[in-house]
Structure 1
Amino acid sequence: MTSSLPQIPALDDTFGALVIGTFLGLILYGISLNQIYAYFGSYANDKLGLKLLVATILVLETLYTITTAHICYHYLIINYFNPANLVVSVWSLNLIPVETGLLAFVTQCFYARRLFLVGRQYWPIVLIVIAILLVELGFYTAATYIAWTSGSFAILTDIEWMLTCGTSLALAADTILAGMLVKVLRDSRTGITKTDTMLNVIIMYTVNTGLLTSIFALVSVVLAVKYPHNLWNAITGFPNIRLYSNCMLAALNARKSLVERGMGVHTSISGAPSQPSISLRVFSFQRRAVETKNVDSSNGAQQTQDDVFRNRSLPAFSAVKYDH
């Protein structure tokens, strides 16, 4: 009787890799939900655009979670003993490329916008990055279209080069954006200890987050090139796209702590700043003078932030406002 059972192919390098990538992605999805909850609780006064951006990330992350979970359930539960169906693609598997492209596009546009707000001299670089992101999204969308019209699981090997090109372009955009943002921050050093300390923290944060997503993207590309006929790259590919949104959300949630560290502002449990009081509005990498009244305890003199920074702009995280 045992000899009459259908032969089940080895699944460790295909669906096994998908399961591992899905599990890692679910962990990061939980972290994203926690960050989104923290964002809406701490930044209720943010501009509507930022709130819509975070809501968009929530929708895309949730759809990505549903599709990856459905892939595992469809192939490994519903068709666990039906090898013939393992070679037929399912809608959720076909949607993965375009969902990946959309998540990467949205989060990287967030960083591109920051560079855009620095000044006109960086606009050509921003245009190059946007062009890269559009081509990246085009590769992912084309991959989804081909997979959808084919209906065959084997088509994944034929469109693997598209997915690899999309991941490589995302890696290139990451490198350009991280490098330019670090340059902007380094050029904004003022010689004032507190200000430079905050800038050093932001530089370290920018490098580390950019390096994290770049490493995962690079490993995905290497695995896709080295093993073109299996899905080992899903182990890093699935969680990598979650890292994009997590890094963006972490940047949004870190604004208050970074500004407080640099400006010496300490907030109470209620979120109100303690003395000395500071009225401050910081916009994303925007070159504009921000009047900051700083009360000197010894002589009571007041000075504007223009004086403090000697007419040099301070790139900082967006839409933070403290009112005394």
Structure 2
Amino acid sequence: MLVSIDFNNFHFQSNENLGAIEIGTFLGLILFGILLGQAYSYFGRSRKDRFALRLLVSILVLLELVHTLLLAASIYYDTVTTWEAPRTNTYTLSTATFFENLITIIVQLCFAHRIHRLSDKGRPSMIALICVVLAVLRFVGAFAVGVEGMLDVAHDGGTGVFVVRVSWLITSTLSVGAAADVLIAASMIYYLRRLSSPTHLRRTTDILNRLTRWTVQTGLLTSLAHVAAILCFQTIGNLVWLAIYIVLAKLYSNSLLMILNARPGTGPLTLNETTSIEFGGTTSGTRTVTTLQLSHLHHDTSEIQVDVTVDKA
């Protein structure tokens, strides 16, 4: 059976609307594949991590799976189910924003907790507290936008006109998210660089430099994505900003797993690197030399392996 389409009466969304959402979804699928690889690497390397952390990563991957399926369902609905009269907004697309919002606040709170641990002041860190406040404000704003999206589908048929009505809320939410990301990235860079010193083992310094590099790349990347979404929303009258917003969740999840995988592995203890420290002393004409060989161990333990060799001359 041949199917013909009358293109004269074929009303479909433009490249800037449905096309933008499709591109965002396809990029999200690529980032989701990278996320699965990151998760596989994490669970293979971090068997000694706390159960709570491993459970958090599992929940994050599950949320990303649901988020990805919702976006795919939204594309299918617009291009297959309602191909004759596609709508700007759908229930699946609005629901996906709730999952993006939940993923974002989980990752931002994890980074805020890490900043608190790195500050090592024995009391709540003011910077970490500010990060938490910004993350919560961003969560509340994005949740309100998601509710407006649901109401738009229920009452206006998914026209998307609510975006004009709550444009100030969308801009404010994206701005707060960008501010939180910049503060998180800057704080982690500061604390990680402060931990790096000439007295540390070379391997430890390499790890800190790697963590700093990932912090710069991932923290600034999500910040730039927020800024790009704001600029597109304010200057371009289409859904390009939504395509950027779609991939934000994937960027956040990958950033957290990249930081976790940048840590040293948790496998068997090995003498990958040793540092020798000699102490010399003289007792009754006998010279004693003690050599300490310190091996770098996993980040979650304070244990130090010491080999002592005593030479008497």
TM-score normalised by L of structure 1: 0.77
Alignment RMSD (CA, Å): 2.7
Please report how far the alpha carbon of residue 10 of structure 1 lies from its aligned counterpart in structure 2 after TM superposition: 4.3
Please report how far the alpha carbon of residue 24 of structure 1 lies from its aligned counterpart in structure 2 after TM superposition: 0.4
1:253-292 matches, within 5 Å, as 253-256=261-264, 271-275=267-271, 278=295, 280-283=297-300, 290-292=302-304
Higher strand share: 2
- Which residue of structure 2 aligns with residue 321 of structure 1? none
Structure 2: 5+ residue stretches without partners: 275-293
Among candidates 44, 67, 71, match of residue 41 of structure 1: 44
Instruction: Give distance in 2, aligned partners of 1:40 and 1:189.
Output: 27
- Which residue of structure 1 aligns with residue 87 of structure 2? 86
- Which residue of structure 2 aligns with residue 137 of structure 1? 139
Tell me if the contact between 1:115 and 1:122 (Cα under 8 Å) persists in the aligned partners. Answer: no
Instruction: Give distance in 2, aligned partners of 1:158 and 1:239.
Output: 24
Please report how far the alpha carbon of residue 273 of structure 1 lies from its aligned counterpart in structure 2 after TM superposition: 3.2
1:235-314 matches, within 5 Å, as 235-256=243-264, 271-275=267-271, 278=295, 280-283=297-300, 290-295=302-307, 299=309
Instruction: Give distance in 2, aligned partners of 1:23 and 1:3.
Output: 28
- Which residue of structure 2 aligns with residue 24 of structure 1? 27
Tell me if the contact between 1:31 and 1:246 (Cα under 8 Å) persists in the aligned partners. Answer: yes
Instruction: Give distance in 2, aligned partners of 1:230 and 1:169.
Output: 22
- Which residue of structure 2 aligns with residue 56 of structure 1? 59
1:153 paired with 2:170, answer no
Instruction: Give distance in 2, aligned partners of 1:235 and 1:130.
Output: 26
Instruction: Give distance in 1, aligned partners of 2:7 and 2:217.
Output: 55
Please report how far the alpha carbon of residue 218 of structure 1 lies from its aligned counterpart in structure 2 after TM superposition: 1.6
Distance verdict in 2 for CA 1:116–1:59, change over 3 Å: same
Instruction: Give distance in 2, aligned partners of 1:159 and 1:96.
Output: 18
Among candidates 66, 80, 91, match of residue 77 of structure 1: 80
Instruction: Give distance in 2, aligned partners of 1:26 and 1:4.
Output: 30
Structure 1: 5+ residue stretches without partners: 258-266, 284-288, 302-324
Distance verdict in 2 for CA 1:79–1:46, change over 3 Å: same
Instruction: Give distance in 2, aligned partners of 1:65 and 1:96.
Output: 8
Instruction: Give distance in 1, aligned partners of 2:7 and 2:192.
Output: 68
Instruction: Give distance in 1, aligned partners of 2:36 and 2:6.
Output: 48
- Which residue of structure 1 aligns with residue 285 of structure 2? none
Q: Aligned partner of 1:60: which letter?
A: L
Count of residues in Structure 1 that have an aligned counterpart in Structure 2 = 278
Instruction: Give distance in 2, aligned partners of 1:189 and 1:171.
Output: 27
Among candidates 184, 198, 208, match of residue 191 of structure 2: 184
Distance verdict in 2 for CA 1:300–1:128, change over 3 Å: farther
SS for the counterpart of 1:295 is strand
- Which residue of structure 2 aligns with residue 317 of structure 1? none
Distance verdict in 2 for CA 1:116–1:27, change over 3 Å: same
Distance verdict in 2 for CA 1:182–1:122, change over 3 Å: farther
Identity of aligned residues (%): 26
Please report how far the alpha carbon of residue 241 of structure 1 lies from its aligned counterpart in structure 2 after TM superposition: 2.0
Please report how far the alpha carbon of residue 160 of structure 1 lies from its aligned counterpart in structure 2 after TM superposition: 4.0
Instruction: Give distance in 2, aligned partners of 1:253 and 1:76.
Output: 38
Q: Structure 1 residues 56-65 or 7-16, which shifts more?
A: 7-16
Tell me if the contact between 1:174 and 1:214 (Cα under 8 Å) persists in the aligned partners. Answer: yes
Please report how far the alpha carbon of residue 122 of structure 1 lies from its aligned counterpart in structure 2 after TM superposition: 6.0
TM-score normalised by L of structure 2: 0.80
SS for the counterpart of 2:209 is helix
Q: In the TM superposition, what whole-angstrom CA distance separates every residue of 1:81-117 from its partner, at most 9, and x where no partner exists?
A: 2x2x525x32112113222211110011111111112
Instruction: Give distance in 1, aligned partners of 2:114 and 2:62.
Output: 23
SS for the counterpart of 1:19 is helix
